[in-house]
Structure 1
């Protein structure tokens, strides 16, 4: 009795503890709460977010931030300061939870009213130095940055910055700004542009007016390009081709006209993208978003900026990416070069001086072809570095390669005084070739990153996959009747000609369909009858004696044969096996009956004469009269993936219990 009482006490205690625990778990639906305080015309922002929930075995979780201040300004800092340009603005915070097993905190815009007092003076209406972020790190007129990698069904913010560099030599610049998204190589749309917020009177325009540029020649036979909407706008031939090529690569686009862009002025457009739930589920795939800066002045070059974004299942700053992970196997050979990029970020409280990026290399690659393309931080090769110089050492083992950054200084995100998250990030990008044409199987690679002497951080697995591709083929067979299964068709031909369709060069299981040319068969055979020989008969006034009477039946059949369902398996490149169903359908079936007589008569000279006489009894026509299904299994020898092969097929018809064997030659292209 005491044990039973103890059991119930422990049971109810467990329910109470679990209920209390469930109450204190942070809700994913709690939005980010924005706090602010203004002093001396400068507003300091901070936030209140739900507690993070660590993932077992992962590094400590943390938030990254993207602030949009509602006046054209922004920041990626945790607690930024900003000078308000307007009396009232709408501030948004997009917080991203890294290494956290919950959802991102929802964004709730917060209206901010500037307190009374003198308005601050700002020399340039929008400069990144206004508590914002130095976006232009590549030195161009256009640059873009997102607050996170795209996650299916989640939101993503993109800031597009454009400027008029001093090098342009133009005091005021007009032109077009465009954003291109949803790669044509993917059947589904990956993004929806929910909203685009502009703050410098940018007006929506039609990019087609630039793509449909007219072409004329002047008297000197020099090409002149202009757009129908702009009298003085011109595109060089190269720029026109580049713009059209960029537009063709994407299914969706949006563009704006901008005016009076002052020298050294920076402007920003904020785009709220919703990643569709149907987004490509391959979390190793890379999607692109491209921006275009198209000035009206032909003396200023048209510029493009492309972001390569990896689709993710969770937000993690340490990632491995394979560019163009979907490959066409037909055109993949020994000299095909793949490009990998391993990104890493120091999320600690102090700087990292040594970073070891270990990558496992698939056996299909040739390690001697590996080339380091680019690194961040940019360092020399250790083989040519002087003592204590920052350098990169590349070393190989049996199935891996290690990229070791030595004598570097990579700040930590939690380090005091570090505000630029980009300064805590790095990467190594390399290219590598195949040993030979690889098997048509997924190619998987992963990385482990060690900061100084800490525990390794493991990245996702970058997977390269081959597109299915289609392989047509021809089939020539003998001994496979492919005709109506009628026992009276004794003289049917055993030669067939057909075609097949299957995935290209599959290494394992795959489906295949086959279709054979219509066969036409005509047969005449005798039908047994009880012969009643009459002694005489009269035809056309002449008396005859019936010597013989036979009943013959003639059939004409047109049949189509197909294999709508067949599973095959390539054991290796020389041996394959398969099983499936063969369907035969009679498109046309005609049956006619005839009586054939042997007659004898006596002519006027008294000589006996024998003659033949036929009498038609009628005919019957039927369409789609018979459908037959047989089952088969076969083996193939030869180049079973691509090329010629010899096959042996056993067929069984369960309706008639007919067993047949056939041999055929197939050739896949």
Structure 2
């Protein structure tokens, strides 16, 4: 009994310890609400945050979806429902500076109470204008995409008074999954609509106008009738935009009144296959196409950085994957550093310090956008909000002075966007850089607080392919045939390698070599034998035995590792595989004959044997070589030492090559 008790206690203790260290990431938010005088107040209980060593204090950001088309980004929002119908409330909480996953979202059914005197739904208390860019559509996400997590996207649209249309019908579209990436980054798991929007087929995109016979007022509508098509210019515009994305979804809307705002809620699952490069920027694009051609069509682009963890202070390099072949000294790179004051009070000064990679020319740096928008300090009067740019040889400081940037935990601050800012700049290379990653990082100081360090934005060059031609002397050689091993062959081949590699890289090669027919004497015999040919007696004076061989060999280098010491010297090693595509052997006997009466002499040739083989005699030779010249891209000369372990044959070969 005692022998069984001990293992049981060990197992029980293991499970107890396991239960104590189980992560709380799977615990969903617990939503609570109270209603008073028709106003519903929400709050939530979330799992404890787990600080990351060295990072600022962790905190949650919130996105509430109230189930009636309203939403809020506040922690404890207020909402007024216009109906007492049961609805589902959702909370999407994002854990910033936390080492775990965000709390799962679990919808909670509620039965709201509407105001006794009737009321108009509101988004949240003190919620600012959603349409900050002034357009008819806008997108806002609750968080940056993280591989394997979900992400909410609010798609807002409205009928501006400037449209001059009391009621507006049209089509909305969301375009996602950039073709720039091989894998899909998003899956649209659910689209929740609250204003009668219906799914639309975007392929026809056939909006037009027609004039009824008894009316002079045109009627605008959407139709699947192929004769009623979208105007050519609009078709081109939409198709040109959509071609950059793999996926698209559309909805029809109707009866959008002047100054009315509506919202779609799009729930995306970021795929585990999402590019793991946390410097990459993915795009989504919203499209607004009214039926009335007099109302402007609009596009809204949202750029999101893929993240490994949620952090409001980030450095982003747009188009971080570059084609090295088309990169020149004049290429301009765009960086954006985002920052957020997460403190309890406002910041009056923000110093964004950026280390500049050695490949850049600091003199070419120019600021393109900032938030808050400020003028340069050179042209500012005393005490005016301004931006000072201090350039060094390997760093630059963007100093926002005399500003007012509210803190996220500041009393009375309900708009998280007001606590955020950014600086965007462009910079050029000193000269065409080497094909190496370009790394930059930033440190952000709010007033006199400790610096907050961002991620490193890394620019990488795509591999690219570089074809080449090879003209060689002394190789390749036919497999396992001593008659050709020392044959000095001139061959033409082709190579394929990454474009302009900096150090270590792979390369494959292919050669096609046709050997000329080689005939050699095997034996010669002098004799006095008699024979009869066409009833005429002859004496055989001499018999020669010749062998003729013709081989067509293909040679390939399926495995080769190369290393460029610099742009003028490179070395490599690998294996050369030889395969006879065609192998023909002919045994021929040649006779010298004299007539029996000694008057005449003749020569007689006879083929004793002939054989053909295909795809025979596979052989592999090891080699090492060195190249001199423009070894990355351009012409160079190489010397290659080959050793055949099967025949113990070794030899030197030389070649010239040109990589494009």
In which range does the TM-score fall when normalised by the shorter chain?
over 0.9
- C-alpha separation in 2, matches of 1:559 and 1:116: 87
Q: Which residue of 2 aligns with 1:650?
A: 641
1:236 Cα shift? 5.2
Q: Report if aligned partners of 1:283, 1:312 keep a CA contact under 8 Å in 2.
A: yes
Q: Report if aligned partners of 2:371, 2:422 keep a CA contact under 8 Å in 1.
A: yes
1:552 Cα shift? 1.2
1:121 Cα shift? 2.2
- C-alpha separation in 2, matches of 1:541 and 1:191: 92
The SS at the match of 1:239 is helix
Q: How does 1:185-264 map to 2 (within 5 A)?
A: 185-210=180-205, 229=224, 235=230, 237-264=232-259
Q: Report if aligned partners of 1:128, 1:134 keep a CA contact under 8 Å in 2.
A: no
The SS at the match of 2:239 is helix
Q: Which residue of 2 aligns with 1:371?
A: 366
- Are 1:662 and 2:653 counterparts? yes
- C-alpha separation in 2, matches of 1:455 and 1:231: 64
- C-alpha separation in 1, matches of 2:523 and 2:261: 100
Deviations 1:233-288 (A, max 9, x none): 77555433321111000000000010000000000000110000000011110000
- Structure 1: unaligned runs, 5 residues or longer: 1-11, 215-224
RMSD: 2.5
Q: Which residue of 1 aligns with 2:137?
A: 142
Q: Which residue of 2 aligns with 1:265?
A: 260
Q: Report if aligned partners of 1:211, 1:243 keep a CA contact under 8 Å in 2.
A: no
- C-alpha separation in 1, matches of 2:228 and 2:531: 103
The SS at the match of 2:482 is coil
The SS at the match of 1:335 is coil
Q: Which residue of 2 aligns with 1:510?
A: 505
Q: How does 1:396-411 map to 2 (within 5 A)?
A: 396-411=391-406
Q: Which residue of 1 aligns with 2:104?
A: 106
- C-alpha separation in 2, matches of 1:578 and 1:20: 55
- Are 1:173 and 2:164 counterparts? no
- Are 1:328 and 2:323 counterparts? yes
Q: Which residue of 2 aligns with 1:80?
A: 77
Q: How does 1:60-79 map to 2 (within 5 A)?
A: 60-79=57-76
1:540 Cα shift? 2.1
Q: Which residue of 2 aligns with 1:5?
A: none
- Are 1:522 and 2:512 counterparts? no
Q: Report if aligned partners of 1:127, 1:266 keep a CA contact under 8 Å in 2.
A: no
- Are 1:416 and 2:445 counterparts? no
1:610 Cα shift? 2.8
Q: Which residue of 1 aligns with 2:450?
A: 455
Q: Which residue of 2 aligns with 1:118?
A: 116
1:647 Cα shift? 0.9
- Structure 2: unaligned runs, 5 residues or longer: 1-8, 210-219
Q: Which residue of 2 aligns with 1:45?
A: 42
- C-alpha separation in 2, matches of 1:482 and 1:346: 71
Mean Cα displacement is larger for which, 514-523 or 640-649?
514-523
Deviations 1:467-509 (A, max 9, x none): 1111111111112243344222378452101111111111111
Q: Which residue of 1 aligns with 2:606?
A: 615
The SS at the match of 2:235 is helix
Q: 2:342 aligns with which of 336, 339, 347?
A: 347
Deviations 1:390-429 (A, max 9, x none): 1111112231101011111100001000010000000000
Q: What's the TM-score once normalised by structure 2's chain length? A: 0.93
- C-alpha separation in 2, matches of 1:425 and 1:61: 16
Q: Which residue of 1 aligns with 2:287?
A: 292
Q: What's the TM-score once normalised by structure 1's chain length? A: 0.91
